């Protein structure tokens, strides 16, 4: 099968993913081999995505996968992550989205595990996120399904979401923008926690 993939675009998208994954790891947004991130390729309905079982700092040009938006594995020998289905659902529903970043960052995931919405307290968080919906767990308390995630993200105004007992999602026209939203969500959760503690001492 001949793939209509622009080699230069593929190389630069893989490098961007590697750099973004490193930044997310260095900032403590994701440890171990959890989370997932992907970036849309030009001219083809497919994305570069991290495989399952590979940590953010261990992403390389050799282990990243290319997966079609219909779920077909186009490049790569490892297993794609379970999270791939919701990444693909977002790309199918949102032509404006070129990157999806998903992390289990601890402050935000703490709020999501308490099943509480994170209040957008700062001007920046309101400006950048507008609204931060929460996605409840899936059937029988399992992970959120791709359909649940798609349902939230089909609203074009949504740029980020919390997943109960799981983590956060940021989307954007570039991978940097998608990651920055995950950073803002995490920072907002941290600020909200400090505000609650400080307010108790009043
Ligand atoms: Zn996850």
- C-alpha–C-alpha distance, residues 41 and 37, integer Å: 13
pTM for this predicted structure: 0.95
Select from 3.40.50.300, 3.40.225.10, 3.40.50.720, 3.40.50.150 the CATH code of 7-200.
Answer: 3.40.225.10
Under 8 Å between Cβ of 133 and 157: no
**How many angstroms is it from 14 CA to the middle of ligand 1?**
20
**How many angstroms is it from 1 CA to the middle of ligand 1?**
32
pLDDT at position 98, please?
98
In this structure, the dihedral spanned by the alpha carbons of residues 21, 24, 28 and 34, taken in order and rounded to 10 degrees, is -50
pLDDT at position 2, please?
61
pLDDT at position 4, please?
83
**How many angstroms is it from 185 CA to the middle of ligand 1?**
15
**How many angstroms is it from 34 CA to the middle of ligand 1?**
6
| Angle in degrees, CA 21, 19, 53, rounded to 5 | 35
What the block records as the tokens of 178 is: 């998608």
The tens-digit pLDDT sequence of the chain (202 residues) is 567 889 999 999 999 999 999 999 999 999 998 899 999 999 999 999 999 999 999 999 999 999 999 999 999 999 988 889 999 999 999 999 999 999 999 999 999 999 999 999 999 999 999 999 999 999 988 999 999 999 999 999 999 999 999 999 999 999 999 999 999 999 999 999 999 999 998 7
**How many angstroms is it from 37 CA to the middle of ligand 1?**
10
**How many angstroms is it from 129 CA to the middle of ligand 1?**
20
Put residue 167 in one of left, alpha, beta given phi > 0 → left and psi -120 to 50 → alpha.
left
pLDDT at position 3, please?
73
Q: Which of 157, 176, 169 is nearest to 112 (CA)?
A: 169
pLDDT at position 82, please?
82
**How many angstroms is it from 152 CA to the middle of ligand 1?**
16
**How many angstroms is it from 99 CA to the middle of ligand 1?**
16
**How many angstroms is it from 171 CA to the middle of ligand 1?**
15
Instruction: Enter the DSSP assignment of 29.
Output: S
């Amino acid at each position: 099968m001949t793939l209509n993939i622009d080699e230069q675009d593929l190389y630069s998208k893989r490098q961007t993913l590697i750099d973004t994954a490193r930044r997310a790891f260095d900032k403590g947004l994701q440890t171990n081999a959890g989370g997932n991130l992907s970036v849309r390729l030009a001219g083809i309905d497919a994305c570069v995505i991290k495989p399952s079982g590979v940590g953010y700092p261990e992403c390389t040009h050799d282990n990243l996968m290319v997966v079609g938006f219909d779920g077909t594995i186009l490049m790569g020998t490892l297993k794609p992550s379970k999270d791939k289905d919701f990444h693909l659902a977002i790309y199918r529903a949102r032509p404006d989205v070129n990157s999806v970043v998903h992390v289990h960052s601890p402050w935000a995931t703490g709020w999501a595990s308490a099943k509480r919405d994170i209040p957008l307290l700062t001007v920046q968080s309101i400006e950048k996120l507008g609204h931060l919906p929460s996605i409840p767990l899936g059937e029988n308390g399992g992970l959120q399904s791709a359909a649940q995630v798609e349902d939230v993200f089909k609203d074009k105004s949504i740029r980020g979401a919390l997943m109960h007992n799981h983590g956060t999602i940021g989307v954007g026209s570039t991978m940097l923008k998608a990651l920055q939203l995950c950073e803002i969500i995490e920072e907002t959760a941290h600020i909200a926690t400090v505000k609650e503690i400080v307010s108790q001492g009043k």
